[in-house]
Chains A and B, each alone.
Chain A
Amino acid sequence: MNEHHDVVIVGAGHAGVNLAAYLSKGGYQGSVALLSNETILPYKRPPLSKGFLLDAEPLESLPLRTAEYWAASPVDLQLGVEVLEVRPDEQTVVTASGRELTYGRLVWAAGGRARSLPLPGATLPGVHQVRTLDDVLALKQELPRASRAVFVGGGYIGLETAAAFRGLGLDVTVIEAAGRVLERVTSAEISEYFHRVHREAGVDIRLGATVKEFTERDGRVASVVLGDGEVPADVVVVGIGLVPNIDILAAAGASCSNGIEVDELCRTSLPAVSAIGDCTSQLNPYAPDRRMRLESVQNANEQAKVVASDLLGRPAASGEVPKFWSDQYHIKLKTAGLIAGHDQMVVRGDPGSGVFSVLYLSAGRLVAIDSVNNPVDFAKGSALIKQRAQIAPEVLADSAQPLQETGLPLTAPGARSRVG
């Protein structure tokens, strides 16, 4: 007989684990299986490029929940189980070992994998990526004998890892194809700020540079060849983005674009199949009319909450403001809202002081904030974004005034409310 569960969750990352926890906290009566193709307890990813690299956060602090938690939980966590096929007509998933599990509801929470570079030498020993704990354990093993590190890609994860490596005393070069670091994710102001901080820390950042190949010596990577020059390397970290794990659901017939397309309840186009986390593409109420695939812990949590409510038969929680954070050196960047489609930008405070915020407005309303070492602005900004507050740019720019008490009415006429 087939193994049946009322809910089968594929992927035990931030999204899958939080969904399982919301279901047990919410008193869900059905049976829940949580399948992970990794063989270790589900863990947090953000520390992998931050505290864990620097030994500030020990291995024991990485699990999202303790072993005792899983032992006591009604959720059936199955490690080392990879799903290879989904048969929506039979409401069945097939695992790598050929096991078939039937579901009442399937929740696809399979995240993504690091994008690889299809270049000569990209698979040489010494060339790394940073997505899984195994990736980072392998990278850490290189550290004692590495003195020159080259990063391909200047995104948040690459820059965080680069900062950690500088902190450990390595020579660091960052190769970025675009005209500025963090180009895909934030404004020029924030890019310039991080560029300056890294430069001052001694990082060599090459902008507009393309990688041609990786050379080898003694069976390991020895250098990174650029369009114009060559950088010697003992260790290389490729951080050029994420490929969402959508193929299996796409093969089953789910509508996919940049991610698995889901509605406001995180339902896919397939019956009885939901999807959450990094693998999904959703219309976001904070970036009207735009499908987006967000890669953040908070998005994974929010979507988990929405599906838990759906399964528990409760009204969905109202749309939280998207949030993201990044730690580099002494800098804590916190972002709320979506930096997409703003028509005005206000810098609040002096970037030179290391404490400032950049606020993004669209048609006079606050839509996003990047705050640097300024948790108060971040918290107040988040609340104002949720209210779709209209605030005069001159007022926002005046860091002597708190973000909330502007003296202007914080009206939100015509605010869009989230469906559901």
Chain B
Amino acid sequence: MPTITFVDPHGIEHDVEGDVGQSLMTVAVNHDIPGIEGECGGEMACGTCHVYVADTAGCVPPPRTTDEAEMLEVLIDGVKPTSRLGCQIRVGPELDGLSVTVPSE
């Protein structure tokens, strides 16, 4: 199983295993990662799965779709180039070792 590192709003790192096909939001919710709620269940309607995804160890998730980019702008104050909705990123073998940061809000 791919391992994903979530850096929570307190700066604490959580290394967790995700199932292939699960979204980063679902993985986070199943590991009580602080700051990630996934309130809308992955409908791109709440923004409570916002994470920053940097290019770590060559792990790059597929780019945002237009819908995701549009909803990020609407839902998140101060979107950064690395901002993503965790519910829109599916875990795959290529993401093993990915590190994402949960914004502090």
Report how far A378 CA is from B74 CA in the complex, Å. 10
Q: Is the CB of B41 within 8 A of A379?
A: no
Per-residue 0/1 for B17-54: is the Cβ within 8 Å of any A Cβ (1 yes, 0 no)?
A: 00000000000011110100101110111110000000
Contact stretch, chosen from A61-69, A236-244, A341-349, A387-395:
A61-69
Q: Hey, which bits of chain B sit against chain A, CB under 8 A? A: 29-32, 34, 37, 39-41, 43-47, 67, 70-71, 74-75
Q: Other than the known A65-B30, A69-B32, what 6 A-B pairs have Cβ atoms closer than 8 Å?
A: A298-B39, A325-B45, A332-B43, A334-B45, A376-B70, A379-B74
Task: Please provide the 8 A-B residue pairs with the shortest distance between their CB atoms, ordered closest to farther.
Answer: A379-B74, A25-B32, A69-B30, A66-B30, A379-B75, A376-B74, A25-B34, A24-B32
Q: Is the CB of A325 within 8 A of B40?
A: yes
With contacts A298-B39, A376-B71, A379-B74 taken as known, whether A65 is within 8 angstroms of B29 at the C-beta atoms is yes
The main secondary structure of chain A at its interface with chain B is: helix
Report how far A223 CA is from B31 CA in the complex, Å. 49
Residues of A47-93 at the interface with B, using a CB-CB cut-off of 8 Å, are: 65-66, 68-69, 73
Neighbour of A44 across the interface among B41, B45, B71, B75, CB < 8 A: B41
Neighbour of B30 across the interface among A68, A375, A376, CB < 8 A: A68
B105 to chain A, nearest CB (A): 12
Number of A-B contacts (CB under 8 A): 45
Q: Which residue of A lies closest to B31 (CB)?
A: A69
Neighbour of A375 across the interface among B31, B32, B37, B45, CB < 8 A: B45
**B37 neighbours in A (Cβ, 8 Å):** 301
**A376 neighbours in B (Cβ, 8 Å):** 70-71, 74
Q: Is the CB of B30 within 8 A of A378?
A: no
Report how far A332 CA is from B31 CA in the complex, Å. 29
**B67 neighbours in A (Cβ, 8 Å):** 375
Residue A297 CB within 8 A of the other chain: yes
Q: Is the CB of B30 within 8 A of A46?
A: no
Residue A182 CB within 8 A of the other chain: no
Q: Is the CB of B34 within 8 A of A380?
A: no
A29 to chain B, nearest CB (A): 15
Q: Is the CB of A325 within 8 A of B43?
A: yes
Q: Is the CB of A375 within 8 A of B39?
A: no
**B39 neighbours in A (Cβ, 8 Å):** 297-298, 301
